[in-house]
Chains A and B, each alone.
Chain A
Amino acid sequence: MYKKVISQMSGQFSCIEKTVSGQNPIYIPLDPANTDYAEYLLWEAIDGNTIADAD
């Protein structure tokens, strides 16, 4: 559902890919003011939820 994206420009972990079945992925910046990132942090805080490594 959530996967790290490594920037092609910087080589660093720059955003998160979120996939939902049947929809295009969205890409979420690592910004606490971004509501999608805030939602990710809530998901990550649940025991057992771990973001997938980048391809």
Chain B
Amino acid sequence: MSLILDGTNGITNLTSINSGQLGGRRNLVMNGEMKVAQRTTSSAGLGADAMTRVLDRWGLVTNTGDSATAGRVTMAQVADGPSGFANCLKLTTTTADTSIAAGEVMLIQHAFEGQDLQGIYKGVSGAKQVTVSFYVKGNANATYTCELFDRDNLRTIGQAFAVTTDWNRIELTFAADEDDGSSPFDDDNNVSLHIQIFLHGGSTFSGGTFVNNTWANQTNNTRMAESHTSILDATSRTFFITGVQMEIGATATDFEHRSYGEELLLCQRYFQQWGGDLAYGYFGGVASITTTSNAFMPLLCTVEMRANPTFAFVGAASVYDLRNNGNASHPLTGLAGDQLTKTVAGITLTRSNGDLTADVPGQLIGNNSTVGRLQLSADI
């Protein structure tokens, strides 16, 4: 590919400077380097739930009910990757499914807010191409499909790609979608676009004629490429991916490496948690003891979350200890959400024994356990 310099477009086909990246903030994907895994680093037996998250910002999607697969996989962050990448997302098939019902599907998915994609000019005059690149390998040769799914306007575009037993960089430039000028991405905090990698699917997703790299209104049976591999065809099957980048333009530039701290902050817009580090570690802020059996505690968000978050807690209530009045131990009997906002999540703490001292502050710590985690999720 030749470097082109002209007065209209500036420099075209420039992929790097001094063999390094061009500059920051070209990559629209978060955690493309698979560095951040706040929830857990591995989860087994996946395939029954509609959405499962292990690494931040990456979900495993399957159909449920009558369209559920019997196949199961383990999704994990593992220390493997091409040169320059320390981690990847690995899927390992643990239960095969070779009897594929029509509606079955399994894919990995990354979601973008519409307000972060306005520079693509999607669905309006002057729409731009985008290039998606990533490194993949598997236990054997395979063919899968990478799709961009416009959730606002229900339009799709896909391209097939090949996997071998060696790490290879896949570079896929997707056509611009000017459409008729009436399908822009919404300028808001809701999901507008997914990058999806189809790894398994029935005839509902493959029965029609797949057209490579062409935007069209969503028609399910043309979404998977022909000669598509199923990751569930054998228990030996694996799929590794890292270095995922989506950038505006027709050129796949070098991967934009970010620090762990930068990636973590980006991910915390969608998920945050407290605890798990120390057996007697602190959770959140100071609790106000309102009665002998109840307290209220704010969780101050590290960064503003995408939306008001869902509150969850890990482990039994008794692994959380509300110290109060002379540092006396009061293992909890319940936790609940109260007022949940993007910047502060108020939660209630219950001690049904009724032995708290009211009107005295308290501090929530681990009850000699690292199991407990308080979690806020505003993912898409």
Chain A: residues with CB nearer than 8 A to chain B?
5, 7-10, 14-15, 17, 24-31, 33-36
Contact A8 B338 (CB under 8 A): yes
User: What are 6 A-B residue pairs whose CB atoms fall within 8 Å in the complex?
Assistant: A7-B346, A8-B296, A26-B310, A29-B310, A29-B340, A33-B189
- B190, B314, B341: the one within 8 Å of A33 (CB): B190
CB distance from A43 to the nearest CB of B (A): 13
For the complex of A and B, the 7 pairs showing the least CB-CB separation, nearest first, are: A27-B337, A33-B307, A29-B308, A31-B308, A29-B340, A27-B311, A26-B312
How many angstroms from the CA of A50 to the CA of B307 in the assembled complex? 25
Q: Which B residues from 336 to 350 make CB contacts under 8 A with A? A: 336-341, 346-348
Contact A14 B339 (CB under 8 A): yes
Known: A24-B313, A27-B312. A35 touches B336 (CB 8 A): no
* Complex interface: chain B residues within 8 A of A34 (CB): 307-310, 378
Q: Closest CB of chain A to B259's CB: distance in Å?
A: 28
B77 at the interface (CB under 8 A from A): no
Say yes or no for B368: interface residue by CB 8 A criterion: no
For residue A25, which residue of chain B has the nearest CB? B336
Contact of A15 among B296, B314, B340 (CB under 8 A): B340
Asked if residues A17 and B310 are in contact (CB atoms below 8 Å), the reply is: no
Residue in chain B with minimal CB distance to A26: B312
CB distance from A13 to the nearest CB of B (A): 11
Interchain CA distance A7-B377 in the complex, whole Å: 19
Q: Do residues B308 and A33 form an inter-chain contact, with CB atoms below 8 A?
A: yes
CB neighbours (8 Å) of B309 from chain A are 29, 34
Query: Of B312, B338, B378, which is within 8 A of A14 by CB?
Result: B338
Contact A33 B339 (CB under 8 A): no
Give A34 to B345 CA distance when docked, in angstroms.
14
With beta carbons under 8 angstroms apart, the residue of A17, A24, A28, A35 that contacts B314 is A24
A-B CB contacts (within 8 Å), total count: 72
Residue from the set A5, A17, A24, A35 with the largest chain B CB neighbour count within 10 Å: A35
Residues of chain B within 8 A (CB-CB) of A35 are: 379-380
Distance between A30 CB and nearest chain B CB, rounded to angstroms: 8
Contacts of A31 in B (CB 8 A): 307-308
Given A7-B338, A9-B296, A29-B340, 17 extra CB contacts under 8 A? A5-B338, A8-B290, A14-B337, A14-B340, A15-B311, A15-B337, A15-B338, A25-B336, A26-B310, A27-B311, A27-B336, A29-B307, A33-B190, A33-B307, A33-B378, A34-B308, A35-B379
Q: Which residue of B lies closest to A16 (CB)?
A: B337
Q: Which B residues have a C-beta under 8 Å from some C-beta of A?
A: 188-190, 290, 294, 296, 306-315, 336-341, 346-348, 377-380
Given known contacts A29-B340, A34-B378, A9 and B346 CB-to-CB distance under 8 angstroms: yes
Closest residue of chain A to B312 (Cβ to Cβ) is A26
**Are the CB atoms of A28 and B310 closer together than 8 Å?**
yes
Q: Assuming the A-B contacts A35-B379, A35-B380, are A9 and B338 also in contact, with contact meaning beta carbons closer than 8 angstroms in the complex?
A: yes
Nearest B residue to A24, CB-CB: B313
Q: Are A29 and B341 in contact (CB under 8 A)?
A: yes
Closest chain A residue, CB of each to CB of B347: A27
Q: How far is the CA of A27 from the CA of B336 in the complex (A)?
A: 7
Distance in Å: Cβ of B35 to nearest Cβ of chain A: 24
B residues less than 8 Å from A14 (CB atoms): 337-340
Q: Output the residue of B337, B348, B380 with the most chain A CB within 10 A.
A: B337
Q: Are A5 and B336 in contact (CB under 8 A)?
A: yes
Give min CB distance, B7 to chain A, whole Å: 44
* Cα A27 to Cα B314 with chains together (Å): 13
* Cα distance, A36 to B337, chains bound together (Å): 14
- Least CB separation from B350: chain A residue: A8
Q: How far is the CB of B295 from chain A (nearest CB, A)?
A: 9
**In the complex, what residue of chain A is closest to B307 when comparing beta carbons?**
A33
Contact with B340, one of A25, A27, A33 (Cβ below 8 angstroms): A27
User: Using Cβ atoms and an 8 Å threshold, which residues of chain A touch B290?
Assistant: 8
- Complex Cα distance A35/B307, Å? 9
